[in-house]
Structure 1
Amino acid sequence: MSVPPGLLAALVDDAGLFPPTSLPMDRAVERHRADAEADAAMHTHRFLVPASRVGEVRRLLREGEVFALGLIADRGAGNLAAAGAEIAADPRLRLALVEAPLAAFGEEEASALQALLAELKDVPDHVPLYAEPVGRARPEPLLTELARRAGARPLGAKLRCGGVRADLFPGTGEVAGFVTACVAAGVPFKATAGLHEAVRHTSAATGFTHHGYLNLLLATAVAASGGDRHAVRDVLETEDAAELVRLAERLTAEEAVAARRALVSYGSCSTAAPVREALRLFGPALRPTS
């Protein structure tokens, strides 16, 4: 058996500028170029960049090359609009998506989302926006607003799965609640932070327990197939790699598509580790055919 071909394709955004890797801009750009040449199927080839650092990217780009940017709001109101205009003015840049923490735009979901959308009024309508909830443990108010405002611009949610402190790692119950709520609302989501390895594990370096990207992906598949929060949580808590491989290989092509319709991609500060992990678990089935 083999994993459905669409399950892992275009899953990993390049978040090399962000902790814990925090590459200097010149090294991050060079790594992104190298990844583009290698053309790993798991990479989206989107370069995630804080809105305040777009100018740094521009200074390093070569004539004729194009970087697809995921623009990350890092300074709240006023910053996104200026960064969007800067990207639009440079033919070497293409704005692929926008991500923003709603808490930077207000304390209440509806008004914060309205303020965020106002920042994007000059950004083309086809560019998706992924908003991180104000209250991490209660995604429903945001999902209600996103579903209500669904229209010309694709709207989704953002799930933070880790960070540089233990308190930034949500528990499996919290993640299960987020995933099932997104699927129930028909709102796609992106994930970020802490998902370098495929399988749930405790880091020897930090002592933090990390969610695995394969756990998250398969838990999303369970939710998209009608599984309840408890079933989703069970998959998130699985630390047996062989069991996760079996679950992945049992998925039909249609179930894989449904999972990826819900979980769009995730940002990883390492672009090599996710590919290496997938090859370790699934072997030649994931290698390029040409």
Structure 2
Amino acid sequence: MPNDPHAGNRLLAGLVDDAGLFPPTALAMPDAVARHRADLAAGHGVLTHRFLCPASRLGELRGELTEPDRMAIGLIADTGTQGLPGALRELDEDPRLRLAGLEFPLSGTDEPKPEGAVAAVLRATVEVPGAVPLFLEPATFGDAGATCAALTGREVSRTVGLKARCGGVRAELFPSVEALARFVLTAVAAGLPMKATAGLHHAVRYIDRGTGFTHHGYLNLLVAVADAVVGAGPDTVAATLRTTDSVGLASRAAGLDAATVAATRRVLTSYGSCSTRVPVEEAGALGLWHTAS
């Protein structure tokens, strides 16, 4: 048993963004808003209580809100650099919504190379308040290094990091453990934060019986980042991503010291989950979340 029974709390606190609008759950907007309201009322500490919403659906979201609603929005810039100013105006004009994060797919720019795409997004986001973190999703995993280089070579007045797509509705959207390990190590070496999205439906790596897809686990990813921040190499990080030993993985997570937990969460800030129930339940089942006594 770890010396600190609440070590898991610090590792998992504020980890899960609400991605209920996205596949495979893909809730209708009324249902997504209702679930988010319920989660806000419950206030579980594993959740960030940020609602991930595409820029293209802000009008739909606003139509479902009532006057008392207050929502922190993680804006997905699916309308590209040209559509961003309008989305930002919508958020600014609605007191029920607060921009809490911005996620930008670099494939949504007109620039074919990562360096140009990064420059285009930074120009487009210059008016975004500096307290709002920006996460850039490289067009491919192989572009992570060039994206990092483009960021670290610039003076940026806000938190800017990388976004890793860990799955999706097609098999090719799931990166290999080796590719994901390289992505993690690239972010750590560059001193950049990252967040993750898609495919992380359960704590531990598993095969979905319906699709046959092998999914990465959110706990695998957390512990792999912990490996990376203490200096592990690609083979070790990949092995952690590959393991399906839930007991061993939970034991490793619970045994992390406070400094490693803090460093891990400076890198992996959050991930988007279409379910806000499963991560909470699995954290408890694995003994990694303890309520105050």
Bin the TM-score by the shorter chain: over 0.9
Partner of 1:264, secondary structure, is strand
Q: Secondary structure at the match of 1:137?
A: helix
1:46 aligns with 2:50: yes
The match for 2:41 is 37
CA contact 1:69–1:95 (8 Å) conserved in 2: yes
The Cα offsets for residues 135-184 of structure 1, whole Å up to 9 and x where unpaired, read as 32231000111222243111000000000000000000000000011000
Identity %: 49
2:255 corresponds to 1:274: no
Once the 2 structures are TM-superposed, how far is the Cα of residue 287 of structure 1 from its aligned partner? 3.9
1:106-125 map, 5 Å: 106-125=111-130
Task: Give the equivalent residue in structure 1 for 2:215.
Answer: 210
- Does residue 286 (structure 1) correspond to residue 280 (structure 2)? The answer is no
Q: Is the 8 A contact 1:19 1:163 kept in 2?
A: yes
Alignment of structure 1 residues 106-145 onto 2, 5 Å: 106-145=111-150
Q: Contact (CA 8 Å) 2:24, 2:169: kept in 1 or not?
A: yes
Match of 1:185 in 2: 190
Q: 2: CA distance between counterparts of 1:198 and 1:246?
A: 13
- Report the Cα distance in structure 2 between the residues aligned to 1:150 and 1:187, rounded to whole angstroms: 14
Distance in structure 2 (CA, Å) of the matches to 1:271 and 1:13: 8
Residue correspondences, number: 288
> Does 1:234 find its partner at 2:254?
no
CA–CA distance in structure 2, aligned partners of residues 249 and 150 of structure 1: 37
1:81 alignment partner, one of 82, 85, 92 = 85
Using the alignment, how far apart are the partners of 1:161 and 1:193 within structure 2?
5
Match of 1:155 among 148, 151, 160: 160
Equivalent residue of 1:215, what SS? helix
Contact 1:278 1:286 in 2 (8 A): yes
Distance in 2 separating the partners of 1:286 and 1:245: 11
| Aligned 8 A contact 1:46 1:69 in 2 | yes
Secondary structure at 1:110 match in 2: helix
Matched, 1:260 2:253: no
SS of the residue corresponding to residue 7 of structure 1 reads: helix
* Structure 1 position 279, deviation (Å): 1.1
CA RMSD of aligned residues (A): 1.2
Report the 3-state secondary structure (helix = DSSP H, G, I; strand = E; otherwise coil) of the residue aligned with 2:259: helix
CA distance in 2, matches of 1:58, 1:30: 13
- One-letter identity of the residue aligned with 2:160: L
Equivalent position amino acid for 1:288 in 2? T
Counterpart Cα distance in 2 of 1:254 and 1:267: 25
Give the letter for the 2:215 counterpart: H
- Report the equivalent of 1:219: 224
Is the Cα–Cα contact under 8 Å of residues 139 and 178 in structure 1 kept in the other structure? yes
Contact 1:41 1:288 in 2 (8 A): no
Tell me, what secondary structure is at the counterpart of 2:12?
Answer: coil
* Residues 150 and 211 of structure 1: CA distance in aligned 2, closer, same or farther (over 3 Å): farther
Secondary structure, aligned partner of 1:127: coil
For residues 276 and 136 of structure 2, the distance between their equivalents in structure 1, rounded to whole angstroms, comes to 23
2:103 counterpart SS class = strand
Instruction: Give SS of 1:246's match.
Output: helix
Matched, 1:93 2:90: no
TM-score between the two structures when normalised by the length of structure 1: 0.96
Contact 2:6 2:290 in 1 (8 A): no
Q: Which of these residues, 66, 73, 89, is aligned with residue 69 of structure 1?
A: 73
Alpha-carbon distance, 1:196 to partner: 1.3
**Cα deviation, residue 3, structure 1:** 5.3
After TM superposition, what 4+ stretches of structure 1 lie above 4 angstroms from structure 2? none
- 2:204·2:246 contact (CA, 8 Å) conserved in 1? yes
Q: CA contact under 8 A between 2:114 and 2:143: conserved in structure 1? A: no
The offset of 1:73, in angstroms, is 1.2
Structure 1: runs of 5+ lacking an equivalent: none
